[in-house]
């Protein structure tokens, strides 16, 4: 049969073991331990020599089924579902780096990711080198023999910057280092990271995949493209486990020991969310494009940022990488922080909350919330302005969203 397309694959990926009752959804295995018939079977399972679940922190049938469905649509070698997107990032960095190693990334990142790198991992001996990831030459200058990876966000949050991923991947490959992409704003269906040379994809599945903010979760997607013998920390393991070296390191050490597993309840919700991902992506991206165009034409906004606007300096590269779906996040600037707050408080439909790709449209003032712990000069470096509002566009009827924004803009007069 011809290779199935994304949605069909999501809906018809077979269970690894047939459900005894013929359930169409993998049931929620809301238990902790799994029994083996013989002590010898338990020994083999612990050695990884028998395909059996033992303990739900390590693996669970419901979580595994969700992982298998993501694997099927991403064409990855392996997928691990975790408790959050931040857990996914921290697990990956801990698995590939050791004291004295460095990663190259940008200060234009999600605030918590920057905090993880700068405040949490630096004190454990990780050096974090910051570059403008849209300047490939600048990135390459920072790579040395201690560099383990380039870390990027496919669309940065909230700067909405878009780097040339294939160009960064070429540099990573030339220098035999990993390229890790946080695809939270461009999840599978919208963007296939493997086609752009990304080795490892991380994302917060809380966002699009969960089906409208039903649950918190994260994913590590190993595209199976990296030669792990090139990573000094994993070199010895690479001889034994080949392309599965990274998954082995996570499953049998880092992921197991850090314990940031996804619950079976969340896996069930996220698995159902995955089935309608395409519908929500299509509507929210179309809404975001229309709202960005409306705001730009309104003449009442200082500045509108959205990669789908021709005025965006990332328009061309964003189109090349994400085609006609350029994410559902946009930002715009008003005259002052006070004006931003006034605008936000007047909204009747759009909700004041911190999340992305809820089914509802959410609004946030990044400088006073996600980035509140950083001083003015760092905020400037991070591209976070006091005058900037972030709009995470949902799937409501577009006309209603426009009317809500219109009446709120009127109130600014």
Partner 1 sequence: MKLKVNGKEEVLVKTSVSVKEILELFKVEMPDMVSVQLNGEFVKRENFQTTSLKDGDEIDFLYFMGGGSN
Comparison of 33 and 137: residue with beta carbon closer to partner 1? 33
H-helix or E-strand containing 376? helix 376-381
Minimum distance from residue 393 beta carbon to partner 1 (Å):
31
Residues paired with residue 329 on neighbouring β-strands, in sequence order: 392
Minimum distance from residue 245 beta carbon to partner 1 (Å):
8
- CA-based nearest residue to 368, from 327, 393, 336, 408: 336
- The maximal CA–CA distance of the chain, rounded, in angstroms, is 76
Give the number of other Cβ atoms within 10 Å of residue 251's Cβ. Answer: 16
Burial of 37 (0-12, 13-18, 19+ CB in 10 A): exposed
Minimum distance from residue 121 beta carbon to partner 1 (Å):
25
Minimum distance from residue 91 beta carbon to partner 1 (Å):
13
Minimum distance from residue 241 beta carbon to partner 1 (Å):
6
Minimum distance from residue 97 beta carbon to partner 1 (Å):
21
Comparison of 68 and 276: residue with beta carbon closer to partner 1? 68
H-helix or E-strand containing 67? helix 61-74
Tokens encoding 236: 């010895």
Inter-residue contact 342 to 407 (CB < 8 Å): no
* Footprint of partner 1 (CB under 8 A): 16, 44, 47-53, 58-60, 63-64, 67-68, 70-71, 77-81, 222, 224, 239-244, 247-248, 251
Comparison of 31 and 345: residue with beta carbon closer to partner 1? 31
Minimum distance from residue 392 beta carbon to partner 1 (Å):
28
Q: What is d(CA 262, CA 259) in angstroms, rounded to the nearest whole number? A: 9
Comparison of 239 and 259: residue with beta carbon closer to partner 1? 239
Comparison of 50 and 342: residue with beta carbon closer to partner 1? 50
Half-sphere exposure of 341 (CA within 13 A, CB side): 7
- CA-based nearest residue to 167, from 137, 122, 146: 137
Give the number of other Cβ atoms within 10 Å of residue 220's Cβ. Answer: 28
Q: What is d(CA 394, CA 61) in angstroms, rounded to the nearest whole number? A: 31
Comparison of 27 and 51: residue with beta carbon closer to partner 1? 51
Comparison of 60 and 183: residue with beta carbon closer to partner 1? 60
Three-state DSSP class for residue 329:
strand
Inter-residue contact 327 to 335 (CB < 8 Å): no
Inter-residue contact 80 to 90 (CB < 8 Å): no
Minimum distance from residue 36 beta carbon to partner 1 (Å):
13
Comparison of 52 and 167: residue with beta carbon closer to partner 1? 52
Residue holding tokens 């001083």? Answer: 375
Minimum distance from residue 267 beta carbon to partner 1 (Å):
10
Tokens encoding 63: 């979580």
Comparison of 55 and 341: residue with beta carbon closer to partner 1? 55
């Amino acid at each position: 049969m011809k290779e199935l397309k994304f949605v069909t694959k999501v809906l018809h990926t077979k269970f690894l073991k047939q459900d005894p009752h013929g359930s169409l959804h993998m049931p929620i295995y809301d238990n902790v331990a799994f029994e083996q018939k013989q002590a010898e079977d338990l020994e083999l399972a612990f050695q990884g020599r028998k395909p059996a679940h033992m303990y739900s922190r390590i693996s669970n049938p419901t979580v595994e089924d969700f992982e298998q469905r993501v694997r099927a649509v991403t064409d990855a070698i392996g997928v691990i579902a975790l408790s959050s997107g931040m857990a996914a990032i921290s697990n990956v960095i801990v698995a590939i780096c050791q004291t004295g190693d460095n990663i190259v990334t940008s200060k234009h990142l999600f605030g918590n990711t920057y905090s993880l790198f700068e405040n949490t991992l630096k004190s454990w001996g990780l050096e974090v080198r910051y570059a403008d990831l849209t300047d490939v030459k600048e990135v390459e200058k920072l790579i040395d023999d201690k560099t383990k990876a380039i870390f990027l966000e496919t669309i940065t949050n909230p700067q909405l910057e878009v780097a040339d991923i294939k160009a960064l991947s070429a540099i990573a490959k030339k220098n035999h280092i990993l390229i890790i992409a946080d695809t939270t704003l461009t999840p599978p269906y919208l963007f296939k990271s493997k086609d752009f040379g990304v080795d490892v994809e991380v994302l917060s599945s809380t966002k699009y995949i969960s089906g409208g903010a039903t649950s918190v979760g994260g994913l590590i997607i190993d595209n199976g493209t990296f030669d792990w013998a090139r990573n000094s920390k994993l070199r010895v393991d690479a001889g034994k486990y080949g392309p599965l070296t990274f998954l082995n390191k996570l499953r049998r050490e880092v992921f197991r020991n850090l314990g940031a597993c996804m619950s079976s309840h969340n896996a069930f919700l996220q698995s159902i969310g995955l089935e309608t991902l395409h519908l929500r992506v299509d509507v929210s991206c179309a809404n975001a494009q229309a709202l960005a165009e409306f705001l730009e034409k309104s003449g009442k906004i200082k500045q509108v940022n959205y990669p789908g606007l021709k005025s965006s300096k990332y328009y061309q590269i964003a189109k090349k990488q994400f085609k006609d779906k350029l994410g559902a996040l946009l930002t715009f600037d008003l005259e002052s922080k006070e004006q931003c707050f006034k605008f936000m408080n007047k909204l009747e439909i759009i909700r004041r909350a911190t999340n992305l790709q809820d089914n509802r449209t959410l609004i946030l003032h990044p400088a006073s919330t996600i980035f509140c712990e950083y001083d003015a000069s760092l905020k400037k470096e991070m591209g976070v302005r006091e005058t900037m509002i972030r709009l995470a566009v949902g799937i409501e009827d577009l006309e209603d969203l426009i009317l809500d924004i219109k009446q709120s803009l009127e109130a600014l007069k």
